Structure 1
């Protein structure tokens, strides 16, 4: 696959410029075109294989960053921070900051599906990282601009008592104090809706409801409920 036309080439060059990379950088433009092609636009030539590669690239970049930034941190803590840094939510957030959506080639029906925006942004972003890695077979085109995002996010995550994963934090807390696991009850309150509160979740512990929350997905609703429960239980345990 090659860059389709001169205007598209200029668009791709603009994207590379947004990343803060020099004009002289050697990028595989044909691969970049592929990385920004959604499967709905082409069933044969799209970003899926590059996204697979990019998943490993972003994990490697995050791992290098964390080892350098927090050399004395425990491996378990770094693993938890990395899991947040490479999550679809964070990757889509970074991608959106560069306006990646406007460079993505996709069908009109896919473009109208706002519920799939986070997933396709995260996938395309990973594919982009794969292209930058394959252009040099190093992280020299990745870390100079990605580290700045990781730095702020990692600092914010470390300040969070649950490291942004309230389900895991709540499970560890309940096992430590009660030797049981929390129970989640989820129901769909806005079927077939794109609302941010499509699902509602409750978390129960030993027959008592400890928190509730809502979200666009079941997982998001559970995290919201777990956050309420975790912060409440931690507050209660801190009371003398």
Structure 2
């Protein structure tokens, strides 16, 4: 049943999205929540996806954790953390949202649409909000796992086959927070001031006065990832 408070055209849009997700035509959801999940703050400053996105952040982590537990039961917890960090990243969530053309259903102001730099974040937020609306409709993951699992399986295989795609910086942060309730500190030096030099920057990652790892890269971000990788893998091998 549709929500009679929604315009007929909007109702048809939302039903089409559920069909894109592969859910049955007669799927019962909270249509008002799904509508809210696809309303950007620039379109409505009060009734928008902000609160749902907050819930969706927890939902997607639960989905990924459950998926990894079921499909990779022998993987160490360190690999779980690394894989989850990549699978719940804005970049990954935005790509999944793009696969279902979320931008066609997202109510957003013309000014926000013109902000190309915010596109990835906008799609990731909408993805989390939609997941929250589906979860809250049933208080289970049964409207999510049937279509999201295929993406998670494909992406997990890609990440495991190409370790360079793993977000070691995020994984290390999760590890330090879980074990020490603290964030790692990165110290950067420009060792070779030559643009494009693969070892231009050197990064060290520190925690509680101890250097956990060191790495180099052509950018600060790359150097930090290299340092985080060394630190993270060193901790997992202990």
TM-score w.r.t. the length of structure 2 is: 0.74
Partner of 1:203: 201
> Pick from 133, 144, 147: which aligns with 2:149?
147
> How many angstroms apart in 2 are the aligned matches of 1:138 and 1:169?
27
Q: Deviations over 1:24-55 (max 9, x none)?
A: 21111111110000011111100011101111
> Pick from 178, 184, 187: which aligns with 2:188?
184
**Aligned CA distance change for structure 1 residues 230 and 64 (closer, same or farther; 3 Å):** closer
Does 1:57 pair with 2:59? yes
> How many angstroms apart in 2 are the aligned matches of 1:167 and 1:128?
27
Aligned residue runs from structure 1 range 159-174, under 5 A: 159-162=161-164, 164-167=166-169
Query: Is residue 212–residue 228 contact of structure 1 (8 Å, CA) maintained in 2?
Result: no
Partner of 1:193: none
Root-mean-square deviation (CA, aligned residues, Å) is 3.0
Partner of 2:99: 97
SS of the residue aligned with 2:56? helix
SS of the residue aligned with 1:184? strand
> How many angstroms apart in 2 are the aligned matches of 1:123 and 1:76?
26
Q: Deviations over 1:104-145 (max 9, x none)?
A: 111111111010011111011100001111111100000000
Does 1:46 pair with 2:23? no
The alignment of Structure 1 onto Structure 2 pairs a total of residues equal to: 199
Query: Is residue 94–residue 123 contact of structure 2 (8 Å, CA) maintained in 1?
Result: yes
> How many angstroms apart in 1 are the aligned matches of 2:98 and 2:40?
16
Structure 1, unpaired ranges of 5+: 172-180, 187-200, 214-220, 232-240
Q: Which has the higher mean CA deviation after the structures are superposed, 154-163 or 15-24?
A: 154-163
